[in-house]
Amino acid sequence: MKRRGRVRFLDTRPLRGNRPFRALWIGTSVSQLGGQIANVAVLAQVWDLTGSPVGTGTIGLATGLPMIGFGLLGGTLADTVDRRTLVRATTAGQLMAAAGLCAQALADNRNVLLLLALVALGTSCGALGAPARRTFPVRLLPGDQVAAGLALTNISFQAAMLAGPAAAGLIIARWDFPAAYAAQAAAAALSMLTVFRLPAMRPESTGPAGGRRRPEPGGWRILLRRPTLWGSMATDLSATLLAMPIALFPLLNEIRFQGNPQTLGLFLSAVAVGGISAGLLSATVTRRRRAGLIQLSAAAVWGLALACFALAQPLWLALGCLAVAGAADTISVITRSALVQLETPDAYRGRVSSAEHVIGVAGPELGNFRAGLLASATSAPFSLLFGGLSAALMIAVVAATNAPLRAYRTPSATTAPPVTKKPTVPGPAADAAPATDSAP
């Protein structure tokens, strides 16, 4: 008799049964680790060159602006050309940028503009290929394994967030900046090798020769025409724009824990630990088909956990609230990513993925800015409490007004998702049934 209610750990079916996805996952994981090492090296080198917080702040401009601009352009390209070819080219660009960073460090460069230009080049290449790369899991995996594949990718990112900065500190302390950038270049080279081993991934409307010169029309309107898509993205935007807490961590640490730098580090670690824990137990949710309801619930828990963090006085309780928030955020990201990829017809996945990418980049940054402004006018605890409760309220509004999102189900293991040969411009008739053309 099958036991019910048992705890399910990480769903590793995509790694065990799909060689192309396994290669992609390994390359992506190594690339993320190399990127985290390089991020610390750039931060340290800019500080070494400028000695100014304004100087280190310009890193945000060198990365944020290319992410938005080239991310949107990459979405259009991903619906026009072979996505594997696009990711090959952009990964090669990232490798060149990493090699340039290594060369300038070896030459003892003292020009911060050159350093930032190379950072912007690498970020631009990554953003240009990001929408196409986001479509790979849904093309490589059966519909019922897409969420599990995204969970595996998310946990590798969380692990890189924890291990990358520590590894960077050791590498820089022993071998200085060139070694850190060399590690990034080696990671980019391995990532490019794994992409070369993937099958061709042309958008379904291009035909076998990939001869279509323009993407299928209506790629942006589909976001508004499909309630599941705009509802999922509105949920994510509400959670990040209204409740992002990172900018308030130093001030809250100063108010309640005497500005202890170790406590500040624990705040960030607690969020990551919660995220990794949720990833390790992600099979509990990835095997469930109610992706829309799970995302709504997890996003609401994120907001409520941060509201509790605003009121928490003991350190153990504050860290516990942050760990719960990190776990809820991971679950929300996994289910949202799976829903967006499965619900979008393949001919539009590049542009929809670019919109998801921009929301994921801009939402947290704007949310931190909003939190800082409100805290300067009131206080950090009030800003965080108000933001967390507001996010939960807005998510409840989305849930109440978006029945298709609440009812959305991912494909079952026994259901073969239909493949759309020639998608039409989405309209009211197309919105009547969910589009789950995963095209594995």
User: Does residue 344 have a pLDDT over 80?
Assistant: yes
Which pLDDT value is given to residue 289? 76
DSSP annotation string for 355-385: HHHHHHHHHHHHHHHHHHHHHHHS-HHHHHH
User: Does residue 257 have a pLDDT over 60?
Assistant: yes
Which pLDDT value is given to residue 164? 82
CB-count exposure of residue 77 (10 Å: 0-12, 13-18, 19+): buried
Same topology, domains 12-196 and 220-413+434-438? Answer is: yes
Instruction: Please state, in angstroms and rounded to a whole number, the distance separating the CA atoms of residues 186 and 277.
Output: 29
The yes/no answer on whether domain 220-413+434-438 falls in CATH 3.50.50.60 is: no
Which pLDDT value is given to residue 422? 41
The pLDDT confidence band at residue 180, using thresholds 50, 70 and 90, is very high
Which pLDDT value is given to residue 213? 53
Instruction: Please state, in angstroms and rounded to a whole number, the distance separating the CA atoms of residues 83 and 341.
Output: 15
Instruction: Domain ranges for the chain, please list them.
Output: 12-196, 220-413+434-438
Highest mean pLDDT among 54-68, 115-129, 239-253: 115-129
The rounded percent of the chain whose pLDDT value lies above 90 is 34
> How much is the average pLDDT of 241-252?
82
The pLDDT confidence band at residue 311, using thresholds 50, 70 and 90, is very high
The yes/no answer on whether domain 12-196 falls in CATH 1.20.1250.20 is: yes
pLDDT digits (tens, 9 = 90+) for 83-104: 999 999 999 999 999 999 999 9
For CA atoms 341, 345, 346, 352, the dihedral sign is negative
User: Does residue 393 have a pLDDT over 90?
Assistant: yes
> How much is the average pLDDT of 287-305?
90
DSSP annotation string for 315-365: HHHHHHHHHHHHHHHHHHHHHHHHHHHHHS-GGGHHHHHHHHHHHHHHHHH
Instruction: Please state, in angstroms and rounded to a whole number, the distance separating the CA atoms of residues 321 and 336.
Output: 22
The pLDDT confidence band at residue 54, using thresholds 50, 70 and 90, is low
Number of other CB atoms surrounding residue 87 within 10 Å: 27
Q: Are 380 and 254 in contact (CB under 8 A)?
A: no
Which pLDDT value is given to residue 209? 47
The pLDDT confidence band at residue 220, using thresholds 50, 70 and 90, is low
Eight-state DSSP code of residue 47: H
Q: Which amino acid is at 286?
A: T
